[in-house]
Structure 1
Amino acid sequence: MFSHIQLGACDLPRMIAFYEAVLACLGLVRLPEVDDQGPEGAGWQTPNAEWPQFYVQRPFNGRPASAGNGTQVSFAAQDREQVQTAWHTALRHGGSDEGAPGLRPHYGEGFYAAYCRDPEGNKLCFVHAQDW
């Protein structure tokens, strides 16, 4: 399990708006802004849970952010409808299609997922599995 995921952002306002819309579909809420001496950004978490957390922010090294080749962030959804809603919201807010919602039986029985890229090219998956 992970404690937090952090993606770099070049156009931070655009990325925050994208994730604010998409992550709300999954029930995640925005963290209060805190001056933690790190670069500017925003974070989200499940209500009433400290961890895990998800962040978009400017890179610590000051260089432009870039999407990782072979990197994917997957968000668990409560049901298939939530997968569909998150994916459609992502596309409406500047994301690009990488695979429409549907069953992916080669990943497991009842594995229902959708794939997209955020506005800066990071690959995302929204998934609900029968066993969760």
Structure 2
Amino acid sequence: MIDHTGIAVTDFEASRKFYDAALAPLGASLVMMVPEEHTGGVKVGGYGYDRPRFWLHEAKEAGPGRHYAFTADKRAEVDAFHEAALAAGGKDNGAPGLRPHYHPNYYGAFVLDPDGNNIEAVCHHPE
């Protein structure tokens, strides 16, 4: 249903470092930087697999915290996401584990990014 989405970040390079590390275990990477002559000098970059699906754009204020969940194919990817995100400066907001109150196989981990957004990796499979 959602084709792509994005968030404002106050320190583009710090956020880029965080998302480079946090999304790598999920197979996603920075796939595009929009030339600054098309953005009025603002840094804008998109993460994804085959095309940009999650955008960062530089801003003076990030706005209120938001929640974004990224799909993981295996629980080990959720664990690796959490570890990489913390190593990249994220703050723990929920260690990897089952959340059976959502459904029996809901396995997720939560980290706050440099601007306080609640970032999650989630696997819906039994392994």
- In the superposition, the TM-score normalised over structure 2's length comes to 0.88
Write out aligned runs for 1:60-71 (5 A): 63-68=60-65, 71=66
* Amino acid corresponding to residue 78 of structure 2 in structure 1: V
Counterpart Cα distance in 2 of 1:73 and 1:18: 14
The alignment of Structure 1 onto Structure 2 pairs a total of residues equal to 123
SS in 2 for 1:8: strand
One-letter identity of the residue aligned with 1:13? E
Residue 55 of structure 1, CA deviation? 1.1
TM-score (norm 1): 0.85
CA distance in 1, matches of 2:32, 2:105: 36
The runs of 5 or more residues in structure 2 that have no matched partner are: none
Letter in 2 for 1:125: E
Tell me the amino acid that sits aligned with residue 124 of structure 2. A
Runs of 4+ in 1 over 3 A off after TM superposition: none
> Aligned partners of 1:130 and 1:42: how far apart in 2?
30
Report how far residue 33 of structure 1 moved.
2.3
Q: Who is 1:95 aligned against?
A: 90
**% of aligned pairs identical?**
33
Give 1:1-132 correspondences, 5 Å limit. 1-35=1-35, 37-38=38-39, 39-46=42-49, 48=50, 50=51, 53-59=53-59, 63-68=60-65, 71-130=66-125
- Equivalent residues of 1:109, 1:130 under 8 A apart: no
Rounded Cα–Cα distance in structure 2 between residues aligned with 1:72 and 1:65 = 13
What is the CA-CA distance between 1:130 and the residue it aligns to? 2.1
Separation (CA, whole Å) in 2 of partners of 1:126 and 1:32:
22
Secondary structure, counterpart of 1:32 in structure 2: strand
* Structure with greater strand share of residues: 2
Which SS does the other structure have where 2:33 is aligned?
Answer: coil
RMSD: 1.7
Partner letter of residue 13 of structure 2? P
Q: Which amino acid aligns with 2:89?
A: G
